[in-house]
Structure 1
């Protein structure tokens, strides 16, 4: 059985570089940025770290080598992501979103689109290139992002409409987005590109009426709101965006009628990364409280770790971290085998690890007791960050669990395929599970 959890020499080098970057360059700016009340300023404080990240290849390393990327595997990405998220998962999300935006061009874009947009991403002499993944929309205005694959026509599902003006060879965008990450860029004038999911046919449902379009920085008709002030992941930027007769060349459109597949595959690719991000945060919480329990007696004479309750809780946290790391790597390996076609296992890893490790971080706070609430210690931040994982990146309840369910509903679903590492191809017929109430 070719199962080996030993890192290769190249992976150990990736891990070393990522760990040194995280501790020596990122860590010194994190606390000041996290405590900054102005969310855009908090984001901008991390720019110096991002420039170093770009030089190291972490900002675009997942893109194919033929377009200037690093060509790293999904498993390689796990190694890098754990080290960075152990210091700050919000900053790591900025890098992840570059992938959410650009990998769809790798999978669905034309050769010309790949040459243009991917090479632009990997060859920025400034080192500050950033891409926005522009899918999410505010609740209540339309069917909401979670129902992107709703079979009904507009206004159910995605509400940003792109009307094709064939005479001028353009699409005209009107509507709003809410929560897209990186979208505003470093100066709130836009990311270098925003890859947007739009409604190109309002008369059709989410399985047929959606497409993807690249909106470059400087495009007229786009307004960026102030970034959302969030409970956790404060170092990544989430915006409100308004499109008013925004004209974009038809050359920038891809996956016409298949925007639903773009959304599903992108959030499949990010699932194992979100899972390992939870591992990174839990690892840091565990290591801090382990040291605390060995060096503090809490008035009982012997260090706290000698109390059975504390020892058992620490053992439980350690077990969850190891189990979730293995699950994250398994999901990433599966995606590597099948060109990121692993919609069920990737979602499973994201859901399971995020929720299991939120509980683990909370247990770590319980070991410290009331001292965990003192903000001179990092436990409060660990809990805030852990709370994000079940909610972001195609939220567990909103999209990821529904995706697993949709795959299982399929007549051809093979419950042993994941264990045996056999491909399960995702199809449109697997979408819309639970979108229509009986």
Structure 2
């Protein structure tokens, strides 16, 4: 097969539809929702837009057709997400998290679980179905989830799920889950909660996933997190107190670590391409500005060499970001989303280079870019700042995952170039989790 970067007719149609949705339906609500001081009210303001996105298939397009999903390839998803990310990546994250919550069922769920939960997700009469990916936990000593695969059961995931009389009983607190409190602070339709199913085992053996449906007693919601950027995406603070869930709602018990690794692998290129969309929007706005603004001279600043060179670098970076994501998406389609290194690489690269792009756009525009009433650069920067630190974190899980793959004795450094399959295993997890503190002499 020849290397070809052109889109198929179907992909061009998908891109056009996603662009029109983003420009005509999403964009009109973004400014007010982003400016709303109450993050939950801001989230509720986008509900009609979400319902339209659901109706058009953007909320479930990544799920298999047999359950009512769109059956889109990974590359197809990237094409649509770039257009949404160019208008508001926070809204894109709301859609992405449906995937983070439900794709683990596609990979690890039983036939009965998939039929029940995926069919329900894809056929909502109200078109407002939300799923939450409930993994992150509050910072503490210990706390957080970056070291989810730590061998000590006292580290990593600390929300517990004890099996008693055919039920899992959940206790603990989660912090940061997107979509986690639902439209009305009473929860989403379903939450995929990563829990410690064995209190005596480390992260490679003691974790699992439990599906917690809306309305389950014992789940309470604190006020949502007030963030500096991507404000259209809700982030919850959730507490579990003796929450009882049928044992049949659990899956991948003992392999919750593999769910975490693969899920953030799947989402890596999606987050990466959303960063491409945000960077592209900043670049297109700045380019137009440079063709009109004179900075007190006689001609638009596009004709100054320094400006031209900086815009050239910006454009090159965006193209590199986009095609890196396409490569990772293509690889994911080849190997059932087992693109652990490439997926993480694209998420890291696009988030960090995207930050450079937006800041360089601000440098080109100068102090005028700091005027948030007249220009959108402040929002592009606030939104972009999230990409390197969310979705498993570039300095946490994502780089460590690549490191684990590369450290494997059988790793082929040309595997990425040759599109060679790299099977992921538990032996690749855990690097860097056990540290040594120097002792004073």
Q: Same fold (TM over 0.5)?
A: yes
Aligned counterparts, 1:392-403, within 5 A: 392-403=390-401
Name the residue aligned to 1:177. 174
Paired residue for 1:328, among 299, 303, 325? 325
Name the residue aligned to 1:127. 127
Paired residue for 1:356, among 348, 353, 371? 353
TM-score scaled to structure 1, two decimals?
0.99
| 1:428 matches 2:431 | no
CA deviation profile, 1:297-326 (whole Å, cap 9, x unmatched): 010111000001100010000000000000
Name the residue aligned to 1:37. 37
How much has 1:357 moved relative to structure 2?
A: 1.2
Cα distance in 2 for partners of 1:25, 1:143 equals 40
Name the residue aligned to 2:267. 270
Cα distance in 2 for partners of 1:183, 1:122 equals 19
Q: What is the DSSP-based 3-state SS (H/G/I as helix, E as strand, rest coil) of the residue aligned with 1:389?
A: coil
| 1:196 matches 2:193 | yes
Paired residue for 1:288, among 285, 288, 294? 285
Cα distance in 2 for partners of 1:19, 1:93 equals 16
How much has 1:143 moved relative to structure 2?
A: 4.1
Name the residue aligned to 2:312. 315
8 Å CA contact 2:408–2:428 kept in 1: the answer is yes
Q: What is the DSSP-based 3-state SS (H/G/I as helix, E as strand, rest coil) of the residue aligned with 2:265?
A: helix
Name the residue aligned to 1:162. 161
How much has 1:418 moved relative to structure 2?
A: 1.0
8 Å CA contact 1:142–1:159 kept in 2: the answer is no
Cα distance in 1 for partners of 2:222, 2:292 equals 47
CA deviation profile, 1:80-109 (whole Å, cap 9, x unmatched): 000000000000000000000000000000
8 Å CA contact 1:142–1:158 kept in 2: the answer is no
8 Å CA contact 1:39–1:234 kept in 2: the answer is yes
Name the residue aligned to 2:88. 88
8 Å CA contact 1:215–1:248 kept in 2: the answer is yes
Cα distance in 1 for partners of 2:375, 2:194 equals 41
Q: What is the DSSP-based 3-state SS (H/G/I as helix, E as strand, rest coil) of the residue aligned with 2:146?
A: helix
| 1:377 matches 2:372 | no
How much has 1:206 moved relative to structure 2?
A: 0.1
Paired residue for 1:222, among 219, 222, 234? 219
Cα distance in 2 for partners of 1:356, 1:273 equals 15
CA deviation profile, 1:246-289 (whole Å, cap 9, x unmatched): 00010100001000000000000000001101100000000000
Paired residue for 1:338, among 321, 335, 340? 335
Q: Which runs of 5+ in 2 are unaligned?
A: 437-441
Cα distance in 1 for partners of 2:129, 2:120 equals 8
Cα distance in 2 for partners of 1:162, 1:274 equals 30
Name the residue aligned to 2:435. 437
Name the residue aligned to 2:386. 388
Name the residue aligned to 2:406. 408
- List structure 1 runs of 4+ shifted beyond 6 angstroms: none
Name the residue aligned to 1:99. 99
Q: What is the DSSP-based 3-state SS (H/G/I as helix, E as strand, rest coil) of the residue aligned with 1:48?
A: helix
How much has 1:46 moved relative to structure 2?
A: 0.5
RMSD across aligned positions (CA): 0.7
How much has 1:142 moved relative to structure 2?
A: 3.4
CA deviation profile, 1:372-391 (whole Å, cap 9, x unmatched): 01112101000111111100
Q: What is the DSSP-based 3-state SS (H/G/I as helix, E as strand, rest coil) of the residue aligned with 2:175?
A: strand
321-330 or 140-149, larger mean C-alpha shift? 140-149
TM-score scaled to structure 2, two decimals?
0.98
How much has 1:144 moved relative to structure 2?
A: 2.1
| 1:299 matches 2:266 | no
Q: Which runs of 5+ in 1 are unaligned?
A: none
